Amino acid sequence: MASLPYPRSLPWGYSSLRCTTNLSIPSYGCNGGCLGMAGMPYPPKAAIRMRVPEEGEGIVSFVDGHYGEQTVDLTTQCGDFIVRRKDGAWAYQLAVVVDDALMGITEVVRGRDLLLSSPQQIYLAKELGFAPPRFTHLPLLCNTEGQRLSKRDRSLDMEALRSRFEAEDIIGLLAYKAGLQELPNRVTAEELVAGFDWKKIGITDIEF
């Protein structure tokens, strides 16, 4: 593998903030302070990062199924990224690439907050000899303050919704908010398939 991983023994927290995209999704970069440790035994409690190419050589371009053409310079926009945490757990970026490849996943649909993860995952997949899947990202579902609804933040979850609504009510409202139907009428997922069109869904986040 041309891009060797190396340990980073500094405490958690990154030294610089230098990553933005056309969708203003931030990520934290690394200044490469531990590059001199490449090839040395990993010290205790060291995170392992994937080294990206030199500036201008780490360009990753792909066409998102909803947001269109995306181009990211991994060096200037992301930096060397963690593939194994200092607690020994494999990081999301590596785990999801290997998992998708071994399961034969060819298409991934997920929230746009992971749009910037796609170039890193495409790069990793190719370095590991895998064919990366096609990516399609969705607008996020947010509250009235613009905050993403998340189980982590104890936002509305399916258990809370099911206690108050039937599935068809929720699907109908979500379809209406997403632009898939003109009114928030009850509907089943099966009934939406016939008229589904990505062009009906906007690129801005959806308030719920």
pLDDT given at position 40: 60
| Residue of 48 and 46 predicted with greater confidence | 48
More confident residue, 87 or 3: 87
Q: Phi, psi at residue 97, to the nearest 5°? A: -65, -50
**pLDDT per position as a tens digit, 9-45:** 333 333 222 222 333 333 445 555 555 555 566 566 7
- Examine the pLDDT at 2 and tell me if it is beyond 90: no
Predicted pLDDT at 41:
61
DSSP assignment of 44-101 = TT-EEEEPPPSTTT-EEEEEETTTEEEEEEIIIII-SEEEE-TTSPBPHHHHHHHHHH
| % of the chain surpassing 90 pLDDT | 51
Instruction: Give the pTM.
Output: 0.76
Share of the chain above pLDDT 70, in %: 76
pLDDT tens digits for range 159-197: 777 888 999 999 999 999 999 999 999 999 999 998 899
Candidates 15, 39, 41, 45; CA nearest to 28 is 15
Mean pLDDT, residues 105-128 taken together: 95
Q: Which long-range contacts (CB under 8 A, 24 or more apart) does 16-23 make?
A: 16/79, 18/76, 18/77, 18/79, 19/77, 19/78, 19/79, 19/116, 20/77, 21/70, 21/72, 21/77, 21/115, 21/116, 22/70, 23/67, 23/112, 23/115, 23/116
- Rounded to whole angstroms, the maximal C-alpha distance in the chain is 62
Strands 206-207 and 141-142: parallel
